[in-house]
Structure 1
């Protein structure tokens, strides 16, 4: 039985005060919420503070991070290794986000290397996939998502997806205010799951597939009512404790 995961990607946002207020506010707002895993991914320099605050929280919050390198140590200025992330309690690591693919020229193959490195170190990859607006309009959405997933499957085998999370995020819906309809998102999620099922039905049944792209409290319930949508990777709304908790509550309610 798949368990929904709602994860907040804070991107390049934060301060000590914001991190403190956000985690404390989220902890209070999650009181009594069960049936959903809630995770946050702050900028890496705030992992220490976030770990301390989460350690004092009454409700379980999973600590994540927004990126990882493919090296364990050495002369790689500005990068961070899986063991460093683990040292600060981070377990769910976002890779392949469209912003990394675009601004840092990360290829499908490079993202697959990150996926493999995270699995090797016992961390949970949150693998972002998704198409551009032009690809969507050309009807290439499923083909693009399949290609991005196959970079992992062809390198590591389909069983590598066990215990991982896939986040389908149409690029045209990230931070734009646009969002796929619940029916459209379900159609793509079902196609992604069917593609994985061609390699392994067991893996396809258990893998968590989140939706991301302008998810808000107002539209969250409609997404989570769909059978193949297992939570969300949330951007802007994750920067507000009340809004983010409302999304988590919607996921818990929908999957009862």
Structure 2
């Protein structure tokens, strides 16, 4: 069982506007006025990083809210039009960045090797990568869940060696993202235990690596998932865009 403070991370995906973001953070600030027992993070679209950073700076109640990005270039700088470097994210105040989200793997054909490189450049810049792993429905039905998630994580372990204890892992069963389906607490815990064992084989600091569940965690199922021994938080999609739901998930975290 991990001894680290749990992490509840919101992934806004490609959603938001200047007005909607401000309204959402205003609502969140009211709920976060009393410091939560967990770490809270929002990973926002790149154009809004400066806005959220400024809103955080201007509101004491948001001091506990961490800022993250949704992707990062594997390149440090140069002629890569449209890319955003880790140094730029650091400049914007990002402490975290999501890498290898299933939507990036599916729609942008990101490979395990590319995800590992992105994690490496983030770590080198002092940003914590949230490394996403997960199987599709076809892979689960074929009994390949363990094989798939271990392969995806192995690439990151191989590329990052002794720095691996600095990452966060997010298990996101692809079949449960945005579908309303979710793994049962027992199913999720079983995969988290596999990932924990793989990390233990790679580093003696595996207990400090948080493994988040990222498959449609919501206000209704958060508590049952978060009480599992190897689930150290959640990577929250749609529910993170609704302040009452996101705050309920945060409140479901036990010390």
For Structure 1 versus Structure 2, the TM-score category normalised by the shorter chain is over 0.9
Asked if residue 183 in structure 1 is aligned to residue 217 in structure 2, the reply is no
Aligned to 2:215: 213
SS in 2 for 1:20: helix
Distance 1:27 1:112 in 2: 35
Instruction: Tell which deviates more after alignment, 118-127 or 23-32.
Output: 23-32
CA shift digits 1:1-22 (9 cap, x unpaired): 2110000000010100111011
2:96 to 89, 92, 107: 92
Per the alignment, in what secondary structure is the counterpart of residue 166 of structure 2? coil
Q: 1:54 Cα deviation (Å)?
A: 1.1
Q: Is the 8 A contact 1:43 1:65 kept in 2?
A: yes
Q: Which runs of 4+ in 1 moved over 2 A?
A: none
Superposed CA deviations along residues 19-66 of structure 1, whole A, max 9, x for unmatched, are: 101111111112224320000011100111100111123141000000
Query: Is residue 106 of structure 1 aligned with residue 107 of structure 2?
Result: no
Q: What TM-score results when the alignment is normalised by the length of structure 1?
A: 0.95
Residue in structure 2 matching 1:15, options 14, 17, 21: 17
Deviation of the 1:72 alpha carbon: 2.0
Q: Tell me if the contact between 2:219 and 2:245 (Cα under 8 Å) persists in the aligned partners.
A: yes
Gaps of 5+ in 2: none
| Contact 1:33 1:249 (8 Å CA) reproduced | no
1:192-245 per-residue CA deviation (whole Å, 9 max, x = no partner) reads: 101222223x22211100001111110000001101000000000000011111
- TM-score scaled by structure 2? 0.96
1:130 aligns with 2:134: yes
CA RMSD of aligned residues (A): 1.0
Unaligned runs of 5+ in 1: none
User: Do the aligned residues in 1 keep the contact of 2:178 with 2:238 (CA within 8 Å)?
Assistant: yes
Separation of aligned partners in 2, 1:127 and 1:177: 22
1:53 to 52, 55, 69: 55
Q: Which of 127, 146, 150 is the equivalent residue of 1:146?
A: 150
Q: Is 1:169 aligned with 2:175?
A: no
**Deviation of the 1:86 alpha carbon:** 1.0
Q: Distance in 2 between matches of 1:54 and 1:96?
A: 27
Aligned equivalent of 2:42: 40
